[in-house]
Amino acid sequence: MTDQNRKTLRSYYCRDYLWELFEVMTRDLGCSMDYLINESMRHYARSRNYSLAGPRAEGPQAAPAVAPYSTPQPQVPAPPAPRAAPPSIAQPTPTPQPAARRPPPLPGQASGAADPPAEASGAKPTLHLLFNGQRYRVDKEKFVIGRGSQQTDLTIRDGNISRKHCAVIFRGGQFFIKDLDSTNGIEFNGKRIEHKRIEEGDTFFLCDYELKFTYR
């Protein structure tokens, strides 16, 4: 299995204007040139459907050499659905049921978003974090992950990780992961997210660092 965290010193020719542009980006984004180049290569490979078997590979994918050209076909609108005939016998009007109360939204979450169902037993679930070959039990209301050793429950010593990068929060009978206004954010399924309810087997990335969660 390929170690995707291993790095090797390499040299290559780079256009001057690209290097100057990346230097501006490193200052604006607060990250290193090594991180920016690695992220650019990784996102370009992903956009072309190239991947190597490893912890981040979601399965073998065939990368097409050249996308075949096809003439777009005109879309024909579907015929309207026929109207239902009115009932001949009046039906009783159903009695409206009171809406179930929902827990308050997670900070930063829209109030109209669907909330997860509460635990049937009412007991707090047991959540474990798998990181760098170690297993950590998340047993706090707010489990902080970041670079600052005195302010975090899990410390990742890397300049690309913010002092308080993200947190696992227990709210309304469920665990959530939430970005704490970090520079480089949280990535899930190739997209940057602000917060998400943690499901069994969910895997998140902080830069090149993998965080996997399990309730087992």
Tokens of 11: 């040299």
HSE value, Cβ hemisphere, 13 Å, CA-based, for 214: 7
Q: Which of 138, 147, 146 is nearest to 170 (CA)?
A: 138
pTM of the shown model: 0.46
**Residue 7: which pLDDT band, with cuts at 50, 70 and 90?**
confident
| Structure confidence at residue 39 (pLDDT) | 85
Q: Phi then psi for 206, rounded to 5 degrees?
A: -110, 100
Q: Are strands 154-155 and 191-193 parallel, antiparallel or unpaired?
A: unpaired
Q: Are 19 and 26 in contact (CB under 8 A)?
A: no
Mean pLDDT of the chain: 77
Count other C-beta atoms under 10 Å from residue 18's C-beta.
10
Count other C-beta atoms under 10 Å from residue 29's C-beta.
14
Q: Are 150 and 169 in contact (CB under 8 A)?
A: no
**Residue 53: which pLDDT band, with cuts at 50, 70 and 90?**
low
Q: Are 148 and 130 in contact (CB under 8 A)?
A: no
Per-residue pLDDT reduced to its tens digit, 107-121: 544 444 444 444 444
Q: Which amino acid is at 166?
A: C
Q: Are 163 and 147 in contact (CB under 8 A)?
A: yes
Q: Taking each helix axis from N to C terminus, what angle separates 33-47 and 16-29, rounded to the nearest 10 degrees?
A: 110
Per-residue pLDDT reduced to its tens digit, 133-166: 999 999 999 999 999 888 899 999 999 999 999 9
